[in-house]
Amino acid sequence: MSADAAHAGLNAVRARVDAFVADAERAQAPHLKCGAACAMCCKVERAAFAVEVDSIRRWLVEHPEVRASAQTRPRRSDRCAFLNDDDLCDVYPVRPMICRTHGPAVRVDEALAWCALNFAGLSVPEVEAAVPASSVLSVELVNRMLVVVNTQFVEAAGGPHRVALREALADAVESSS
Ligand code: SF4
Ligand code: SF4
pLDDT of residue 177: 79
pLDDT at 75: 87
Q: How far is the CA of 96 from the centre of ligand 2 (A)?
A: 8
Q: Provide the pLDDT for residue 176.
A: 82
Distances (CA, A) of 10 to 7, 33, 37, 61, 100: 5, 28, 28, 18, 13
DSSP string, the chain: --HHHHHHHHHHHHHHHHHHHHHHHHHHGGG---STT--GGGSS--EEEHHHHHHHHHHHHH-HHHHHHHHTSPP-TTS-TTB-TTS-BTTGGG--HHHHT-SS-EEETTEEE--TTSSTT--HHHHHHHS-GGG-EEHHHHHHHHHHHHHHHHHHH-S-SEEETHHHHHHHHHHH-
Position 50 confidence tier, pLDDT thresholds 50, 70, 90: very high
Q: pLDDT tens digit string along 90-149?
A: 999 999 999 999 999 999 998 999 999 999 989 989 999 999 999 999 999 999 999 999
Is there an atom of ligand 1 within 6 Å of 118 CB? yes
List the residue whose alpha carbon is closest to atom 5 of ligand 1.
34
Q: Between the CA of residue 150 and those of 4, 12, 48, 114, 153, what are the distances in Å?
A: 12, 13, 10, 26, 5
Q: Which residues have CB under 6 Å of ligand 2?
A: 42, 46, 80, 82-83, 89, 91, 95, 99, 165
Instruction: Please state, in angstroms and rounded to a whole number, the distance separating the CA atoms of residues 39 and 89.
Output: 9
> What's the chain's average pLDDT?
94
How far apart CA 151 and CA 88 sit, in angstroms, is 30
Q: pTM of the entire structure?
A: 0.94
Ligand 1 pocket mutation, candidates 25, 28, 31, 33, criterion most atoms within 8 A of CB: 33
Interatomic CA distance for residues 117 and 31, integer angstroms: 9
pLDDT category at 175 given cuts 50, 70, 90 is confident
Q: Could you give the C-alpha distances from 90 to 44, 84, 97, 104, in angstroms and in order?
A: 15, 6, 15, 22
Which residue's CA is the closest to the ligand 1 atom numbered 6? 34
